[in-house]
Structure 1
């Protein structure tokens, strides 16, 4: 099983696993598997990662607050905002959720 554990303050907070493995776990315990979530249409414009700082500021979030919400360090978030690091898909999803925007999931 391919599980990613996301830690916060030294303790596990989330476990992330591929959708198909999640569905198999549900079936194994006798729970009706959920339908796939609808995908975001390609026609919707997605902000680029280079627009993250203004998006964060428009939400009234400090760099530290957004980093904590996503589960990464403020230093790493600063590198992402500066274009010096490319976040993985899980971090992109967490950023999209925290900033309440559609997109970034399929860009990685």
Structure 2
């Protein structure tokens, strides 16, 4: 696996890897682990319009969730405000970090 580590003030901040390897890593993690909170009924799953409330309920800042998902805080803010619709990979990453299984099933 080719990984480039980007540091800020001597501390690792980001890891950059080829897209195919990133997708394989996401698939491997999804196959091995189960989220803490399981919602299996897609009809009762929270919508993306509730993303801010879900993030706050987990005690996550915009910056922390964005970093965990691999997007900028600004882009996450645009998703939360409804200005942008996340692609399937971002939606899966949001679902994983928020423990929402139904979003993973929809993407």
In the superposition, the TM-score normalised over structure 2's length comes to 0.64
Of structures 1 and 2, the one scoring higher in RCO (CA 8 A, sep 6+) is 2
Residue in 2 that maps onto 1:85: 84
* Residues 65-92 of structure 1 deviation map (CA, whole Å, 9 limit, x = unaligned): 0000000000000000000000001100
* Structure 1 gap ranges (5+): 1-6, 23-33, 35-39
Residue in 1 that maps onto 2:47: 48
- RMSD between aligned residues: 2.8
Residue in 2 that maps onto 1:69: 68
* Structure 2 gap ranges (5+): 6-12, 32-38
How far does residue 107 in structure 1 lie from its aligned partner after superposition? 4.0
In the superposition, the TM-score normalised over structure 1's length comes to 0.63
User: In structure 2, do the counterparts of structure 1 residues 75 and 104 end up closer, same or farther at CA, with 3 Å as the change threshold?
Assistant: same
CA distance in 2, matches of 1:79, 1:43: 24
Between structure 1 and structure 2, the one with the greater Rg is 1
